[in-house]
Structure 1
């Protein structure tokens, strides 16, 4: 139980005015005081669901499938593990899982439903810390492009770090007020997710102070921002494309009213896609309009809201804008491209990577294949991944190359033991039992995926983990 949970009476009075007749305010308040169930999503770019189930069984984790996400699971750990952080486990540090509240997996499921996103250009308008962005990225092929935008400068760093940890290579990060997309990127995206900034009323089960500053006036102010953002999403979306709007709040002011604003503003050009049958028992949270209004007591989750729309036809943006300024990258020259391909073939027996090589001074980057469609419309914080840096003797590979593509290597890999993994994530070199004659870089493997680079040095592997990723805390083992 949350002993210190704060729920103002004015909030309760407001909830009573719109809670559905078949739900009880007492059940709602009781659910708010229950601890939130731990949930994770398996990153299938790094680990199969079957392998995760084996890992869970080996470590005495009880797992229950999340009905609306085929690679999502609630998990209960043994009592001796419950005080330990999942973020310090080998399965998390290797990028094989993402700790994510179960209801927040639902918006991307709605976006994916009846859509093949594999080669699409998708926009996540409010992406940090990356749970939904990485969920979208799993569904994309090398031809697909994800633009993940985050307005908060403090959160863009964590978004980038999560992309690297999970091995996401075909993503472009941007840092704007998302209202600019409708002006600068009109009809640029096949699909859009707007998980809008909101009052967070649904998050009280993990944040006992979520309602500390709650007020109707604040709801109204936030809804005005949401209406501006959802209009921007309409203009940025291609005709025939889908838009998913979601929040982690309960009030209709920020949910149904914002959706109705979209429908009123673009009356004949957009329509609701009902989500009543998105998953088994979805009807329990469905509204008359076909939205999902997820109260915490329905599925034992956070409170959430999800709506989906299809754009039937376009309305021109009244004030379109065009980006100014030079693009600092150039396509990699033939010599550099051949040199990079020779290095990964010789050292790791790897084929050329799917994507396009670009250069910025000494840096060599891999951009998504279809980034050309949106590359010049806004300024990006970063595009794709940094493969390495050129120098007079060749190309020095970078950490991101390893986390994104290292699992494709057929040689020069080293499987880390748990004790070696502890040393690696703390920035220490890895001691070898015997002297090696191997040279150059080695890819370090954990849970059958790659976590980074090292360099063979006689009786050790020199640690190549970037300084900003070195951890003070010890990796948790269950031995």
Structure 2
């Protein structure tokens, strides 16, 4: 029980004034003071749901399905299981993502009734990456997903999660989300705007979430949200879908932002109802067909989700662009064949057809083909995956390439014991018993790919990037 949760009186008065008649304030306050149920999402880029369920059963984890996400589960563990979920080998090798259950809903809403795979998607406010990796998994790593984060300090964590989950179709950008409408007008099939908000729904996770709450700050945030939703609308192709979501509860940051867009572009927008998104969704539905989720309804965080369809083209804002020269060159056939053949010969990895090889000096990269029309229109911080660095004798393959492309069924692998894996994650070299080899080798633990090493006699030189090294007991 979060006994120390502080709910400002003005906030409670405001909630009471907007709460639907079938709900009551006592249940709301009680729910806000209950700790959140832990929930995770299986990363199907790495493992099937069925395979993960049997893995979880062997660990004594009880998984309860989240009704609005086929890959989402609430997790219950034995009292004796003190291992932090983030330190389990399954988490570190990217098999699952620790994600609040209600935050899985926006992506489900984005993909509702999807007939064909999405080619281009924009995630406007992406860090720390739960929804980005959820979208990438739904795209099966095909197409192109632009993941934007305004806060430079959060880009590193976003990239780390993308890398851990084996995502290869993402381009990272670091902009104020208000730029996209002018810079990339009508470029995306689908857009997720999980907007920065006052966070009223997060109190169960963070007892201090409401410490600085005021209606003045709510109104201030809503102004930014209106700018963001307009920009997202401009960046969306006609016929495309925009999902707007927040983890807050007031009308100013939710319904009123969606209605602002409707008024700004009359006849160009339709609200698409979400009452059939999952069983019992109608318990949280508004008259516009939005999901307004109070924490007591599904025993979750407070959340808001709206799905909007762009009905026709509109003129985008005119912007002045000053872009430096794009520093990469598309590889010619000779270079492409050399990289492809070498990767196949040394690590038995085949490159997918959804990307192309680009180079910069000695660096070799793999970019999503679907991203090419945007090259030269926007500055990308990072695109696709870095495959290798070229040197005189061939290529030095990269950790992220192996994490995104290796399946674990390659024969050029070595399986570590739990003690060796612990050493590996600490950034130390490994000396497996009674074996030696030469060249680069894919390193596995528990059947999962965890990195790339290089044989030096009977020692495997650790290739884990420094930012992924984790001291302490990881299992």
Aligning the two structures, in what range does the TM-score lie when normalised by the shorter sequence?
over 0.9
1:61 aligns with 61
Within-5 A mapping of 1:143-158: 143-158=142-157
Distance 1:333 1:289 in 2: 52
Distance 1:6 1:21 in 2: 24
CA-CA distance at 1:141 after TM superposition: 4.1
2:341 aligns with 342
CA contact under 8 A between 2:36 and 2:205: conserved in structure 1?
yes
Query: Unpaired segments of 5 or more residues in structure 2?
Result: none
Distance 2:400 2:156 in 1: 15
Partner of 1:395: helix, strand, or coil? strand
- CA deviation map 1:204-263 (0-9, x unaligned): 001000000000001100000000000001100000000000000000010000010011
**Alignment RMSD (CA, Å):** 1.3
Q: Does 1:110 align with 2:130?
A: no
Distance 1:116 1:128 in 2: 28
CA contact under 8 A between 1:323 and 1:377: conserved in structure 2?
no
CA contact under 8 A between 2:351 and 2:405: conserved in structure 1?
no
Distance 1:119 1:309 in 2: 16
- CA deviation map 1:84-127 (0-9, x unaligned): 31111000000000000000000000001112463410000000
CA-CA distance at 1:19 after TM superposition: 1.0
- CA deviation map 1:44-64 (0-9, x unaligned): 000111111111111111110
Partner of 1:17: helix, strand, or coil? helix
TM-score, normalization by structure 2: 0.97
2:411 aligns with 411
CA-CA distance at 1:306 after TM superposition: 0.1
2:164 aligns with 165
Q: Does 1:462 align with 2:472?
A: no
Distance 1:391 1:134 in 2: 33
CA contact under 8 A between 2:270 and 2:310: conserved in structure 1?
yes
1:277 aligns with 276
CA contact under 8 A between 2:196 and 2:225: conserved in structure 1?
yes
Within-5 A mapping of 1:38-117: 38-81=38-81, 83-116=82-115
- CA deviation map 1:122-146 (0-9, x unaligned): 0000000000000000111454100
- CA deviation map 1:287-335 (0-9, x unaligned): 0110000010000000000000110101101424445221011012333
Partner of 1:407: helix, strand, or coil? coil
Once the two structures are overlaid, the 10-residue window that deviates more, 319-328 or 353-362, is 319-328
Distance 2:197 2:302 in 1: 12
CA contact under 8 A between 1:88 and 1:473: conserved in structure 2?
no
CA contact under 8 A between 2:201 and 2:302: conserved in structure 1?
yes
Distance 1:259 1:208 in 2: 29
CA contact under 8 A between 2:6 and 2:207: conserved in structure 1?
yes
Quickly say closer, same or farther: Cα 1:313–1:450, change in 2 above 3 A.
Answer: same
CA-CA distance at 1:409 after TM superposition: 5.3
Within-5 A mapping of 1:279-428: 279-354=278-353, 355-407=355-407, 410-428=410-428
CA contact under 8 A between 1:198 and 1:254: conserved in structure 2?
yes
CA contact under 8 A between 1:169 and 1:404: conserved in structure 2?
yes
CA contact under 8 A between 2:118 and 2:189: conserved in structure 1?
no
Number of residue pairs matched? 474
Distance 2:300 2:13 in 1: 22
Query: Unpaired segments of 5 or more residues in structure 1?
Result: none
2:125 aligns with 126
Once the two structures are overlaid, the 10-residue window that deviates more, 113-122 or 9-18, is 113-122
1:257 aligns with 256
Distance 1:321 1:109 in 2: 36
Distance 2:352 2:308 in 1: 35
CA contact under 8 A between 2:141 and 2:167: conserved in structure 1?
no
Once the two structures are overlaid, the 10-residue window that deviates more, 151-160 or 373-382, is 373-382
CA contact under 8 A between 1:202 and 1:250: conserved in structure 2?
yes
Partner of 2:257: helix, strand, or coil? helix
CA contact under 8 A between 1:122 and 1:192: conserved in structure 2?
yes
Quickly say closer, same or farther: Cα 1:467–1:318, change in 2 above 3 A.
Answer: closer
Distance 2:50 2:363 in 1: 38
